[in-house]
Structure 1
Amino acid sequence: MKRSDGDRPVKRFLNTVQQFSNIDETRHWCLQQRRQNRTIGLVPTMGALHEGHLALMRRAKRECDLCIATIFVNPTQFAAGEDLTRYPRPLQRDLELLERENVDAVFLPDESMMYPSGFGTYVSPPPVALPLEGESRPEHFRGVTTVVMKLFQIAQADRAFFGQKDFQQLRVIEDMTRDLNVPIEIIRCDIVRESDGLAMSSRNRYLNDEQRQRALSLSRALTAAKNLNQSGERDIATIEAVMKAELAVCDHVDYAVVVNRTTLLPPTDSITRPNESIALVAARIGNTRLIDNELL
């Protein structure tokens, strides 16, 4: 059932997309929709929207009555020396994309709204946060779990949509939601790629033409791993060696591993069962850090 404008507590308008910067108004709007038995799909983002984000919103629109997006560059998930200050913030373009996709509402808090003076409560991430990204960015997932839990509390959505490109983040959020009995369904969404195979990312815009060509080594490494596995190769060391060879053009490789999809730990020395493993890579091209993965 379509709602009328009279149903809506309005902060301000970009045509039909309602914009909220205040937590109470956002929560009030969401609760009002739920009282009318409308299901809400939540798509948390840090902005700099691309086709991957838009695919999440389209799925939320298909599977729920309403879609609310969030745009917030979360400072607590950036470590010292990372790209917080230069992270792209093309807000007007993002709002135009939301309008084009008929997103119903967007929550646009500032840092002082999410982390007011005296803020001191953080959500400790589950064990799945410890390997891989957790080894090189030990505070990253504490920032992720904290901000995502806050967004869950504010939006009170029925479902939240996350892309599988950030697979470890997805697993962290799934376990946090389960462990803390959060009444929201986490929906996994497929990776969206450019026509040449590069996984879509807001950080791709940092790459110059030469770097972008080298960045294709990530998807090539994963394709090589998948092809090896499909041809019968089960030895993890062999598959990882092939991935690392493909990534030799990168300036630095953080990891190129095959792990269990649930625990993100190495299963054994070999892949013993189908549909239990995932290949993950993280590498730097110039000053840009990229990640990607492929289910095996």
Structure 2
Amino acid sequence: MSSAQDLPPSGIPIFTTLAAYREWRHRAFREGKSVGFVATMGALHEGHLSLVKRSLQSNDLTVLSIFVNPAQFAPHEDLATYPRTLPHDLELLNALSLPHPTTEDPARVRKPSAVFAPTVLEMYPSGITQDVAEQKGTFVEVKGYGHQMEGRSRPTFFRGVATVVTKLFNAIQPDHTYFGQKDIQQALLLKRMVKDLLMAYPSPDRLHIVPTMRDPTDGLALSSRNAYLSPSDRRVAPTLYAALNAAKSAWESGASKDESIRTAVDVVEKARQEAKSGYGEVDVQLDYVEMNDSDTFEVLEGGLKSTDVNPAHPVILSGAMWVGRTRLIDNVLLGDVGKVIEL
């Protein structure tokens, strides 16, 4: 996406500069039209499209960003190989439409209104490197909430996410924005960030968290990184979700937090042994399985049971697992799910 000349044809306007997008956004302000927003790194799948559909249902206009953010990749991570599929992404978006909610006229539909696909220089005018120690410019950090869960394995990840999403919110100025439950810590952290920074576009109550989209056959959470999975890897990949559901069943049956976690670990270990000798000798490694408070992200004490937990603060049961060279994440919510996501 180095220039407009490099862009594939699209029936949806594509903006690569902030100035061009803001001219479009100012027109929407003048016309009194609401703008919904979905932030992505491209390589779109049905999970992304479910977020776009939520926006189409509730907003006059829907904007989607496609930007692979260097600041959220550590130097050893997969920035260079992250899937970039802009022509296919645009095909999916151009084919997407929903009936207009205020009329039964089949000719009136809502379609994605614009794509913001900036260059790295447009998003990081001071330049950017993956080495945090060498970075220059302004960055955003949500203190005290990014070192648990995913933050333990990826210590600079949320700094990069908070920074780029702040930039995107300032650029897009969305009335509503939509994030998926699969990245639950990210979504909740961003909701807190919006509140702490007194943002109006969007306000905290207009940052919506939507349930994870899954493969209907085996429950694997849809992810752009699933494209990395070999056929043998793909057979093993649903193990993480199966392990989390086993832990959830144990927890809801009265097991302690530690006992429930052990149930999940046992499921992964069994799959690891099976994959080692079959499935093309796939290497499976568990990164973590943990239970955290959905408000503070603090780790639950090992002896706690479901009856000991405040129902006002649902528990996040999350995990990460390596399948071959692909790192998968997933989560399920325990307790009053509706306090966290919009069903």
Q: TM-score, normalised by structure 1?
A: 0.92
- The answer on 1:220 being equivalent to 2:242 is yes
Aligned equivalent of 2:222: 200
1:52 to 47, 52, 60: 47
- The answer on 1:254 being equivalent to 2:298 is no
Aligned equivalent of 1:122: 139
Q: CA–CA distance in 2 between the matches of 1:15 and 1:145?
A: 30
Q: What residue identity is the alignment partner of 1:293?
A: N
Aligned equivalent of 1:148: 165
**Superposition deviation, residue 70 in structure 1:** 0.2
Q: CA–CA distance in 1 between the matches of 2:141 and 2:316?
A: 25
Deviates more, 1:109-118 or 1:240-249: 109-118
Q: CA–CA distance in 2 between the matches of 1:215 and 1:114?
A: 34
Aligned equivalent of 1:19: 14
Q: Is the 8 A contact 1:194 1:200 kept in 2?
A: yes
**Superposition deviation, residue 139 in structure 1:** 1.0
- Classify 1:75/1:15 alpha carbon distance in 2 versus 1 (closer, same or farther; 3 Å): closer
Moved >3 Å (runs of 4+): 12-16
Q: What residue identity is the alignment partner of 1:62?
A: Q
Deviates more, 1:221-230 or 1:80-89: 221-230
Aligned equivalent of 2:187: 170
Q: CA–CA distance in 2 between the matches of 1:156 and 1:180?
A: 14
Deviates more, 1:136-145 or 1:248-257: 248-257
Aligned equivalent of 2:33: 38
- The answer on 1:105 being equivalent to 2:114 is yes
Aligned equivalent of 1:280: 318
Question: Structure 1: which 5+ runs fail to align?
Answer: 1-11
Question: Structure 2: which 5+ runs fail to align?
Answer: 1-6, 97-110, 128-135, 273-282, 335-343
**Superposition deviation, residue 15 in structure 1:** 4.8
Q: Is the 8 A contact 2:250 2:263 kept in 1?
A: no
Q: CA–CA distance in 2 between the matches of 1:129 and 1:31?
A: 34
Structure 1 counterpart SS, 2:237? helix
Percent identity of the aligned residues? Answer: 40
Structure 2 counterpart SS, 1:263? coil
Instruction: Provide the alpha-carbon RMSD of the alignment.
Output: 1.6
Q: CA–CA distance in 1 between the matches of 2:254 and 2:332?
A: 16
2:327 to 273, 289, 293: 289
Aligned equivalent of 2:104: none
**Superposition deviation, residue 13 in structure 1:** 9.1
Q: CA–CA distance in 2 between the matches of 1:243 and 1:49?
A: 30
**Superposition deviation, residue 66 in structure 1:** 0.8
Q: How many residue pairs were aligned?
A: 284
Structure 1 counterpart SS, 2:49? helix
Aligned equivalent of 2:296: 263
Q: CA–CA distance in 1 between the matches of 2:321 and 2:24?
A: 41
Structure 1 counterpart SS, 2:214? coil
Q: Is the 8 A contact 1:279 1:294 kept in 2?
A: yes
Structure 2 counterpart SS, 1:129? coil
Aligned equivalent of 2:84: 89
Q: What residue identity is the alignment partner of 2:300?
A: P
